[in-house]
Amino acid sequence: MPQAKIYGIRERLVPIRDVLSEAVNDAISDAFKFPKERRLQRFFPMERDDFVYPAHERSDRYTIIEISTFEGRSVATLKELVRQIYERVIAATGIDRRDLDVIITQQPKHAWGLMGDHGDESKLSYKVEV
């Protein structure tokens, strides 16, 4: 059940939220073979003073995409997700590669609670081991 958190400076993130959401969702769906309608995203538009980054390396379009997911996907699948996020987000938003970071964290299924069940006891409608 991949969930995305997306951080950026408010005046830069809000205007691109819809196209960014589509790009991230399409990348997750394609790379993970995950149902598109199961989109789980949260946006964190931040005030400039609350989003600290090295200004000599990044612009004010700097965006961080964090994806939490179950463990079990191959290294090749995770790399494919990162590749697709870069490709799709850059094409959809014009954000420069240097202004985009992607972080994927994986946890065991038993560390998740899903709709009242433990993740390792849930009957999933998709395959994790991709």
Token look-up 């995203």 returns 41
Do residues 25 and 41 lie in contact, with contact meaning Cβ atoms separated by under 8 Å? Answer: yes
Instruction: Encode pLDDT of 2-51 as tens digits.
Output: 999 999 999 999 999 999 999 999 999 999 998 888 889 999 999 999 99
Stated pTM of the model: 0.87
The residues near 88 (Cβ < 8 Å, ≥ 6 apart) are: 23, 24, 26, 27
pLDDT tens digit sequence for 101-125: 999 999 876 655 666 765 555 665 5
Say if residues 100 and 44 touch (Cβ distance below 8 Å): no
SS3 127: coil
Domains and CATH numbers, the chain: 3-121 (3.30.429.10)
φ, ψ for residue 103, nearest 5 deg = -130, 120
